[in-house]
Structure 1
Amino acid sequence: MLLLTLDGTAVLTAFGIGSLLRFGNLSSQSAFDMAVVTLPVFLGVALNSGAYSIDVLRANRVGIARASSSLGFTFCSLLLLFYYLRVLQDVSRLAIGAGMIGSFVLVAAFRTLFSFVVHYAVDGAVTSELVILDEVSFPVPATAKVIDAAANGLRPDLRDPMMLDRLAKRIRGIDRVVIACRAEAQRPWAMLLKGANIQGEIVTTEFDAVGAIGIRELGGRTTLLVASGPLSLRNRMVKRAFDLLFAVPALILLAPMLLFVAFAIRFDSKGPVFFRQMRVGRGNELFAVYKFRSMLVDQCDEAGSLSTQRDDSRITRVGAFIRKTSIDELPQLLNVLFGSMSIVGPRPHALGSLAGQQLFWDVDERYWHRHALKPGITGLAQVRGFRGATYRRDDLMRRLQADLEYIAGWSVWRDFKILVSTATVVIHKNAY
């Protein structure tokens, strides 16, 4: 954000200098108009070209090259547009020309100064790196943090959700995680990292078993890149903006209905209005999901190990209606507002969820990969009709395949289409 602000300041300053050279003041109308038109186009192009990615913090020349190419594209496009529309015919060529040239110079100068200050402030460690040592020794650079897996209760166990939660808390806020472990533990660690929404790497010489997607280096040793997170910073910002643009108005518009449902629940049976249940979220971190309580208090299934049956005796009268119409899910708009969920994404599952007689993660180890994105109120699996109890292994596999397909092909347009399609499956034969 600071770099974006500096680029904007550089462009405005450049056109101000152009105005000063030609008219003796900093804010002539023609130079001001050109600056106002240039700025949003340039920043939009620069964002799309990666001029504010992590790469530009690591290498200043990369940032200058991307910003300069964005400026060049912007100026060429605007000049061509102005020529055909016959606008800005009476402007000063000196003021506009000086502004354009000055933009290139000042953007490069501001970015060079920014790079120097940032590298000085962080002592060259632009990204936060964590090395986890699992029963092996490894020379760790001074800029990286290091923890011992055993001492922190960490082990590559895909069947232990509580351990996954501990790992998620350890790597929160970390940009790059490197695991140094024995050969037989490399694949389990790699499977854990693939759902952690970070850049994860394994120190190894074996490539095939862990599904590596690239090669990196740390302390003179080769590491394999096994996970990078499905969305870039820009796409995460776009998805978060989409969530807030929908969740905030929805909460305001639905407030009267939500209050009415809350009173109906309290009138129908004793107990709290909301039901809170721990579920697996992004990066395999546990979070509390909010739902309207639809069951009798003493029969609520907090672990989620017993799927709801048709005509389930645990469900209250009001609960039967709000489950059938999916109204019980609306409090999850609060989860979206607080940042633990998205409007669209893989549905979060309870820890005790079963497909037949197997826990979800025992059915397919790729199950943990679906947590690379925030869970959603609705998702691709839901609009395809994959709802209700999971009596068989295939019931989960269809949902898992849809979730992995969604993660691999995410776009904000697809989120919008899924959200619109959700209206057709709000009332579903498997919702009970």
Structure 2
Amino acid sequence: MYASIVKRVIDFFISLFSIVLLSPIFLILCISIKIDSRGPIIFKQKRVGKDKKYFDIYKFRTMKIETPKEMPTHLLENPDYYITRVGRFLRKTSLDELPQLINILKGDMAIIGPRPALWNQYDLIEERDKYGANNIRPGLTGLAQINGRDELEISVKSILDGRYTSNISPIMDLKCFIGTFSVVFRSQGVVEGGTGLLNKEEKE
């Protein structure tokens, strides 16, 4: 009942309220992005949604328009080169994710869930299949995001996504929601140009 109906209703109204409440911040960020560099304000990218159906995710653009498309940041040879000045701030504070409130409103995403994979992140998609994590709506934040985020190896991230999928509840969502504020405030787990660092350090 909660996972199939109540969660979606809550997501809809929270995203709608948030868009209205944060509209002045949206405006400021839009102006800052436009002044800082050439290109569109909103960046769209094909991602994997519920039941592995594709959708366009929305983000504030943080990279130069000449950045290779459809490539995860950690696979770029020199990701720092492509990130704009305003983009660096947006990524560090996770404010670049705010337009995904529109994705949540539309039903493409949920507030809490596995982060949506790029359509060509086949290794991540395959790992998530093992745990049923591709069968639910991806989220703005989730269990993996509060437990390492970019620092996690794909295998570990997928296990956490599967653990969330198997334990969807108001308590679990509240835990992830509150935990997200702590992680974002400390910019914890944000690693440009690499993934799996946390697990590699533990193995050494």
Q: TM-score, normalised by structure 2?
A: 0.84
CA drift of 1:361 comes to: 4.0
Alignment of 1:77-88 (within 5 A): none
1:386 counterpart residue number: 149
Q: From the superposition, tell whether residues 311 and 300 of structure 1 become closer, same or farther in structure 2 (CA, over 3 Å).
A: closer
Q: Does residue 1:248 correspond to 2:11, yes or no?
A: no
Q: From the superposition, tell whether residues 368 and 300 of structure 1 become closer, same or farther in structure 2 (CA, over 3 Å).
A: farther
**Given residue 381 of structure 1, which amino acid in structure 2 is its aligned partner?**
A
C-alpha separation in 1, matches of 2:128 and 2:173: 26
**Given residue 33 of structure 2, which amino acid in structure 1 is its aligned partner?**
I
Preserved contact between residue 73 and residue 79 of structure 2 (Cα < 8 Å) = no
Q: Does residue 1:396 correspond to 2:159, yes or no?
A: no
Once the two structures are superposed, residues 78-117 of structure 1 have per-residue CA deviations (whole angstroms, 9 ceiling, x without a partner) of xxxxxxxxxxxxxxxxxxxxxxxxxxxxxxxxxxxxxxxx
C-alpha separation in 2, matches of 1:365 and 1:241: 25
Higher alpha-carbon Rg: 1
Preserved contact between residue 277 and residue 288 of structure 1 (Cα < 8 Å) = yes
Q: From the superposition, tell whether residues 322 and 305 of structure 1 become closer, same or farther in structure 2 (CA, over 3 Å).
A: closer
CA drift of 1:235 comes to: 3.5
Preserved contact between residue 238 and residue 412 of structure 1 (Cα < 8 Å) = no
C-alpha separation in 1, matches of 2:144 and 2:55: 21
2:190 counterpart residue number: 430
Q: From the superposition, tell whether residues 342 and 402 of structure 1 become closer, same or farther in structure 2 (CA, over 3 Å).
A: same
Q: From the superposition, tell whether residues 315 and 288 of structure 1 become closer, same or farther in structure 2 (CA, over 3 Å).
A: same
1:37 counterpart residue number: none
Matched pairs, number: 190
C-alpha separation in 2, matches of 1:385 and 1:327: 18
Match of 1:360 among 114, 124, 141: 124
CA drift of 1:369 comes to: 2.2
Structure 2: which 5+ residue stretches go unaligned? Answer: 193-204
SS of aligned partner of 1:381: coil
Match of 1:327 among 95, 109, 122: 95
Q: TM-score, normalised by structure 1?
A: 0.41
SS of aligned partner of 2:118: coil
Alignment of 1:190-205 (within 5 A): none
**Given residue 428 of structure 1, which amino acid in structure 2 is its aligned partner?**
Q
C-alpha separation in 2, matches of 1:429 and 1:307: 17
Q: From the superposition, tell whether residues 369 and 313 of structure 1 become closer, same or farther in structure 2 (CA, over 3 Å).
A: same
Q: Does residue 1:375 correspond to 2:138, yes or no?
A: yes
**Given residue 346 of structure 1, which amino acid in structure 2 is its aligned partner?**
P
Alignment of 1:90-169 (within 5 A): none
Structure 1: which 5+ residue stretches go unaligned? Answer: 1-231
C-alpha separation in 1, matches of 2:171 and 2:109: 18
C-alpha separation in 2, matches of 1:365 and 1:335: 21
SS of aligned partner of 1:383: coil
Match of 1:415 among 142, 166, 173: 173
2:115 counterpart residue number: 347
**Given residue 158 of structure 2, which amino acid in structure 1 is its aligned partner?**
L
Once the two structures are superposed, residues 142-172 of structure 1 have per-residue CA deviations (whole angstroms, 9 ceiling, x without a partner) of xxxxxxxxxxxxxxxxxxxxxxxxxxxxxxx
Q: From the superposition, tell whether residues 256 and 343 of structure 1 become closer, same or farther in structure 2 (CA, over 3 Å).
A: same
Higher relative contact order (CA 8 A, sep 6+): 2
C-alpha separation in 2, matches of 1:303 and 1:310: 12
Preserved contact between residue 380 and residue 403 of structure 1 (Cα < 8 Å) = yes
2:197 counterpart residue number: none
Identity of aligned residues (%): 35
**Given residue 257 of structure 1, which amino acid in structure 2 is its aligned partner?**
I
Preserved contact between residue 323 and residue 431 of structure 1 (Cα < 8 Å) = no
RMSD, aligned α-carbons: 2.2
Q: From the superposition, tell whether residues 365 and 321 of structure 1 become closer, same or farther in structure 2 (CA, over 3 Å).
A: closer
CA drift of 1:371 comes to: 1.3
